[in-house]
Amino acid sequence: MPSNKPSVLVTGASGFIGSYVVRHLAAAGFEVTALDLREPVTLHPERVREIRCDLRDGALPEGGFDTIIHLAALGGVRPSMERPSDYLATNVAGTVRLLEWARQREVKRVIFASSSSVYGATDGTPSAEDDPLSPCSPYALTKVQGEQWGELYARKYGIDFLALRLFAVWGDGQRPDLALESFRRKILARETITIHGDGSQRRDLTHVSDVARAVEKSIAWTGHGFEVFNIGTGTNHSVNDMLRAAEAWAGMTTEVKYGPAHPADVPTTLADVRKAREVLGWKAEVRFA
Q: Which residues does the annotation mark as catalytic?
A: 139
In the chain, the amino acid numbered 221 is W
Rounded to an integer, what distance in angstroms lies between the CA atom of residue 181 and that of residue 179? Answer: 6
Taken in order 178, 45, 27, 74, is the CA torsion positive or negative?
positive
Q: Could you tell me how far CA 110 lies from the centroid of its own chain?
A: 14
Taken in order 215, 221, 226, 229, is the CA torsion positive or negative?
negative
Rounded to an integer, what distance in angstroms lies between the CA atom of residue 238 and that of residue 167? Answer: 14
Q: Which DSSP string do the residues of 152-220 spell out, in sequence order? A: HHHHHH--EEEEEEE-SEESTT--TTSHHHHHHHHHHTTPPEEEESSS--EE--EEHHHHHHHHHHHHH
Q: What is the CA radius of gyration of the chain?
A: 19
